[in-house]
Amino acid sequence: MRKTLNLAPLLFLLLLASCSARDFLTRRLSSDLIAASSDLKAPQSFLLRTGIVSGKDYPSPEYLVLQNHGWISAATVACPAGLLPPPCWNIVLTPSGVDVVHSSITGQGAAKSSISLPIARRELIGITGIAKQDNSADVEFEWKWVPLNEIGEALYSRDLRYRSTVGFRKYDDGWRLIETPVRSAQTMQDALKNAELIP
């Protein structure tokens, strides 16, 4: 009796070995690519302006929170020429506000009238769904803010969760997160005109 060799399992293993981990858009791969995104990792900053500001900048919700915590005080003043709309406000840091701001920044920044404070960063919670169609996909994910200091704690709640959807596209080397709009089927002239500088 002659035995026949079944090559199907061997061929399947060879085919599987030739695929990379990026060939299949899984929750794990999409989670890794989203978590590594510079947009997700970029810290959220708050521009704290002290001195005389116009009525359009104060009372904003952020300034009211800082005032309720006792970190700033504000008094109405006459608007200098060119600063509109009235009323104008003179915003100053309180002693406790100086401590909070100084603990949030480094260097000479505290002496300026406009101080950019890093206050929170985004954290990926998880992937909630993947909708694939041919070589493109939409990945839905949840994330939350993680405050970086006392001001961040006052302005961003750790308990709130957000849902976002981002696009993915499959290239010859696997799936990639779409970080800039994809211009498909454009002419060579348009491709050269719309070129982006590579940092």
| Per-residue model confidence as pLDDT tens digits over 5-59 | 666 565 555 444 445 567 899 999 999 999 999 999 999 999 999 999 988 887 7
Nearest to 58 by CA among 38, 39, 42, 74: 74
Q: Which residues contact 49 (CB under 8 A, 6 or more apart)?
A: 57, 91, 113, 114, 115
Structural contact between residues 158 and 146, judged by C-beta atoms closer than 8 angstroms: yes
Mean of pLDDT over the chain: 85
pLDDT value of residue 21: 65
Q: How confident is the model over 74-85, as a mean pLDDT?
A: 90
Q: Looking at this protein, which amino acid is placed at residue 90? A: N
Coil, strand or helix at 146? strand
Structural contact between residues 93 and 109, judged by C-beta atoms closer than 8 angstroms: no
Residue 180 — pLDDT band, cuts 50, 70, 90? confident
pTM of the full predicted structure? 0.76
Structure tokens at 87: 């009323």
Q: What percent of the chain clears pLDDT 70, i.e. is strictly above it?
A: 85
Q: How confident is the model over 124-134, as a mean pLDDT?
A: 95
Instruction: Give yes or no for residue 78 having a pLDDT over 70.
Output: yes
Report d(CA 81, CA 16) in Å as an integer.
72
Q: Where are the domains of the chain?
A: 24-43+120-181, 44-118
pLDDT value of residue 52: 92
